[in-house]
């Protein structure tokens, strides 16, 4: 089963990279392992037969967001200070472990109504129909455009020299 | 045992918990922002998995994931702009030292 092997490899790589993001002492290396985690998530989208989302994940997260994060790390010169933990490290670990245990218990004891029909592929025409077609998500798409414009203007206003 | 919905959901919960720990326990504001991105990615995996296994022909989960990505992009742009503005005024991005509005 090719998909199963791909899932396990991508899952192990993704979890390892995510652990490296929060455990590594070097901020720049943490950002690079975040990029690796984003790539693993894009691979997981492919195993879920979400081809358009995998391409968007690579373009937006690996291409744009990681560049923004690395640029911010370069601009703030906190690289020498590393990535220290605050006083709440032990309680935060317990909160995260408690969340992990509780949600895992809940979802293993739920009987999901898994459908046996094979997934739709390719997904791009169907997604375009849903986003822009009749009775679809056209109003949220417009609101998302306004949100992006507001975010761009806000970012420019915040970082502009007085 | 072949990979099913539960595997993807457990992977999503694991990634979300790692991001939650990072967001709660780290002092560097950029690392906190990276942890939040990790949590958003975990939620996206869960939604795409639900879309694939529960309603394979409707794709609503994938549409939601696209909107989450839009909001994440806007959030990271504004968040990093705020961090750079704070760094310019106070020469630090240590989240425990940014306590101007703390009562």
Question: Which residues of chain B lie closer than 8 angstroms to A91, CB-CB?
Answer: 24
Name B26's bridge partners.
Answer: A85
Least confident of A21-30, A52-61, A100-109, B32-41: A21-30
For A71, which residue in chain B has the nearest alpha carbon? B80
Task: Please state the length of chain A.
Answer: 162
Higher pLDDT, B25 or A84: B25
The fraction of chain A above a pLDDT of 90, given in percent, is 62
Q: Would you place residue A161 in the very low, low, confident or very high pLDDT band (cuts 50, 70, 90)?
A: confident
Using the Cβ of B89 and the Cβ atoms of chain A, whether some distance falls under 8 Å is answered with no
Predicted complex ipTM exceeds 0.85? yes
Name which of A76, A91, A104 is nearest B30 (Cβ-Cβ).
A76
Least confident of A42-56, A74-88, B56-70: A74-88
Q: What is the pLDDT of residue A43?
A: 95
Q: What is the mean pLDDT of residues B37-41?
A: 95
Using the Cβ of A12 and the Cβ atoms of chain B, whether some distance falls under 8 Å is answered with no
The structure tokens listed for B54 are 């529960």
Looking at domain B5-90, its CATH class is mainly alpha
Higher pLDDT, A8 or A84: A8
Q: Which of 30-49 (B) contact A at CB < 8 A?
A: 30-31, 33-35, 37-38, 41, 44-45, 48-49
Name B28's bridge partners.
Answer: B94
In sequence order, what E strands does chain B have? none
Q: Which of A114-118, A141-145, B52-56 has the highest mean pLDDT?
A: A141-145
Q: Which of 78-117 (A) contact B at CB < 8 A?
A: 78, 81-89, 91-93, 95-97, 99-100, 103-104, 107-108, 112-115, 117
Q: Would you place residue A121 in the very low, low, confident or very high pLDDT band (cuts 50, 70, 90)?
A: confident
Q: What is the mean pLDDT of residues A56-68?
A: 92
Q: What is the pLDDT of residue B20?
A: 95
Q: What is the mean pLDDT of residues A107-130?
A: 86
CB under 8 A, 24+ apart: contacts of A93-99: A93/B21, A93/B25, A95/B20, A95/B21, A95/B24, A96/B17, A96/B18, A96/B20, A96/B21, A96/B24, A97/B17, A99/B13, A99/B16, A99/B17, A99/B20
CB A49 within 8 A of CB B58: no
Using the Cβ of B68 and the Cβ atoms of chain A, whether some distance falls under 8 Å is answered with no
d(CA A115, CA A68): 40
Higher pLDDT, B97 or A154: A154
Pick A1-84's CATH classification: 3.90.1640.20, 3.90.25.10, 1.20.120.1200, 2.40.50.1020.
1.20.120.1200
The fraction of chain B above a pLDDT of 70, given in percent, is 99
d(CA B23, CA B16): 10
d(CA B41, CA B11): 11
Domain range summary for chain A, segments of one domain joined by +: 1-84, 120-162
In sequence order, what E strands does chain A have? none
Name which of A30, A126, A148 is nearest B70 (Cβ-Cβ).
A148
Where does residue A74 rank: exposed (0-12), middle (13-18), buried (19+ CB within 10 A)?
exposed
What value, to the nearest 5°, has the Cα angle with vertex A40 and ends A34 and A42? 105
Q: Would you place residue A78 in the very low, low, confident or very high pLDDT band (cuts 50, 70, 90)?
A: low
The sign one gets for the Cα dihedral A35, B39, A103, A95 is positive
């Amino acid at each position: 089963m090719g998909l199963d092997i791909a899932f396990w490899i991508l899952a192990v790589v993704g979890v390892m990279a995510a652990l490296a993001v929060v455990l590594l002492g070097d901020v720049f290396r943490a950002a690079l392992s975040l990029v690796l985690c984003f790539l693993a998530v894009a691979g997981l989208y492919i195993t879920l037969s979400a081809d358009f989302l995998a391409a968007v994940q690579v373009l937006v997260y690996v291409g744009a967001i990681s560049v923004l994060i690395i640029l911010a790390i370069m601009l703030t010169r906190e690289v020498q200070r590393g990535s220290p933990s605050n006083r709440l490290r032990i309680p935060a670990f317990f909160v995260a472990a408690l969340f992990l245990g509780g949600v895992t218990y809940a979802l293993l004891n739920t009987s999901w109504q898994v459908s046996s029909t094979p997934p739709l592929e390719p997904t791009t025409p169907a997604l375009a129909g849903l986003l822009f077609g009749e009775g679809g998500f056209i109003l949220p798409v417009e609101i998302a455009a306004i949100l992006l414009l507001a975010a761009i203007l806000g970012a420019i206003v915040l970082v502009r020299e007085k | 045992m072949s990979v099913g919905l539960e595997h993807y959901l457990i992977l999503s919960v694991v990634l979300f918990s790692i991001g939650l720990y990072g967001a709660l326990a780290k002092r560097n504001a950029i690392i906190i922002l990276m942890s939040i991105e990790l949590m958003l990615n975990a939620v996206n995996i869960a939604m795409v998995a639900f879309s694939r296994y529960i309603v394979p022909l409707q794709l609503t989960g994938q549409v939601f994931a696209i909107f989450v990505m839009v909001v994440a992009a806007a959030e990271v742009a504004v968040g990093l702009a705020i961090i750079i503005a704070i760094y310019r005024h106070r020469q630090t991005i240590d989240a425990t030292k940014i306590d101007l509005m703390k009562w």
